[in-house]
Copies of this chain bind each other. A is one copy, B any other.
Amino acid sequence: MESGNDIELVRNKQVILKDYVSGFPKESDMYVSRNGTMKLKVPEGSNGIVVKNLYLSCDPYMRSRMIKNKAITGNYYIDSFKPGSPILGLGVAKVLDSGNPNFKKGDLVWGRTGWEEYSLITDFQNMFKIQHTEVPMSYYTGILGMPGLTAYAGFYELCSPKKGENVFISTASGAVGQLVGQFAKLLGCYVVGSAGSKEKVNLLKNKFHFNEAFNYKEELDLDAALKRYFPEGIDIYFENVGGKMLDAVLLNMRAHGRIAACGMISQHNLDKPEGVHNLMHLIYKRIRIEGFFVFDYNHLYPKFLELVLPQIAEGKIVYVEDIAEGLESGPAALIRLFSGLNIGKQVVFITQE
């Protein structure tokens, strides 16, 4: 009879958070440990799975998990990373051993995992089996993963878009923005995106075929910039940054406009978030602004895949990724994302299947 003690331990490299982070995160807030070990077998009696991680996803929300747990009224709190433990995130992985009837050895999955070579996963709430393998597996950290579903639910469910409407997207070349823009274009909307470099602006115009794009860092007056691109105002704003940009957008929304609040990345590293002064415009122009959490829309994932897989196959939707090689590059990749240096979806490649 096999006993747990007989199973060989393998090395398990991990990206560890040193301590809670205040101010702007640095690469040195994390380190790669080679001391970890792992049994590639599910503990007896557990319904968990042991996976080999293939790709890790760098996502803006991870910034908020680097601070100490903040209790927030309303039965909600931000679940922090644990100093001294591996960073947690979304990734693509291969099942090596399974105590769970829904997953078997050899399955490819995407969902919550650790920043390490191997993980034991016991929470299956947001774990998806990968059924379509004719696309790059990294896509399941991006266009076919959480950012893809975010773009889909945020745009179609929250914004109720109509052909011909004016759509503005901030951090438009990011994992979510590039997809929202392409959805809007395919629907026949007028689409403008903002981003933080000339290279990204070029990408928006030439690769994703946005109608217009601008570098917000070159605009002294965001209100004037928006008026230049939207003389008749904005119907839909896909909000990824918050702060000053949101304030300028409020001035330029049209009556019955809709704002999907997906993220406010500009606010993460501030001790006190910037004030937004133009909320009166919510009333003047009957605007709806709605925050959302992508995993509330898991039921739409099959419908989303049905829409987007053929569009990828036909080249109607493209996706740009920024792939860092090796677990060791994880900390730098995450900081690149927080600094806006990535071009497209930031991914960390760990290993082939």
What residues of chain A have their CB less than 8 Å away from a CB belonging to chain B? 72-76, 78, 227, 230, 232-234, 242, 246, 251-255, 257, 261-264, 267, 272-293, 296
Q: Which of B251, B263, B277 contacts A275 (CB 8 A)?
A: B277
Whether the Cβ atoms of B285 and A292 lie closer than 8 Å is no
28 pairs of residues in contact across A and B, judged by CB atoms under 8 Å: A72-B281, A73-B227, A73-B230, A73-B251, A74-B232, A74-B234, A74-B252, A74-B257, A75-B232, A75-B254, A76-B255, A76-B284, A76-B285, A264-B279, A264-B280, A264-B283, A267-B280, A273-B277, A273-B278, A274-B275, A275-B276, A275-B277, A282-B291, A284-B291, A286-B291, A286-B296, A287-B290, A288-B290
Whether the Cβ atoms of A282 and B289 lie closer than 8 Å is yes
Whether the Cβ atoms of B254 and A283 lie closer than 8 Å is no
Q: How far is the CA of A285 from the CA of B293 in the complex (A)?
A: 8
A272: chain B residues at CB < 8 Å are 277
Q: How far is the CA of A295 from the CA of B261 in the complex (A)?
A: 27
Whether the Cβ atoms of B283 and A75 lie closer than 8 Å is no
Q: How far is the CA of A42 from the CA of B286 in the complex (A)?
A: 36
Given A233-B73, A289-B289, A284:B254 Cβ within 8 A: no
Q: Which residue of B lies closest to A246 (CB)?
A: B279
A264: chain B residues at CB < 8 Å are 279-280, 283
A255: chain B residues at CB < 8 Å are 74-76
Q: How far is the CA of A292 from the CA of B264 in the complex (A)?
A: 24
| Nearest CB on B from A317, distance (A) | 25
Whether the Cβ atoms of A74 and B242 lie closer than 8 Å is no
Q: Which residue of B lies closest to A279 (CB)?
A: B276
Q: How far is the CA of A252 from the CA of B68 in the complex (A)?
A: 19
Q: Which residue of B lies closest to A278 (CB)?
A: B273
A253: chain B residues at CB < 8 Å are 73-74
A75: chain B residues at CB < 8 Å are 232-233, 254-255
A230: chain B residues at CB < 8 Å are 73
Whether the Cβ atoms of A254 and B291 lie closer than 8 Å is no
Whether the Cβ atoms of A254 and B290 lie closer than 8 Å is no
Whether the Cβ atoms of B73 and A284 lie closer than 8 Å is no
Given A251-B73, A272-B277, A292:B286 Cβ within 8 A: yes
A282: chain B residues at CB < 8 Å are 261, 289-291
Considering residues A255, A263, A275, A283, which has the most beta carbons from chain B within 10 angstroms of its beta carbon?
A: A283
Q: Which 10 A-B pairs have the closest CB atoms?
A: A275-B275, A74-B233, A74-B254, A282-B291, A283-B291, A288-B290, A73-B233, A273-B277, A73-B252, A261-B282
Q: How far is the CA of A21 from the CA of B206 in the complex (A)?
A: 50
Whether the Cβ atoms of A72 and B285 lie closer than 8 Å is yes
| Nearest CB on B from A184, distance (A) | 18
Given A232-B75, A255-B75, A274-B275, A262:B283 Cβ within 8 A: yes
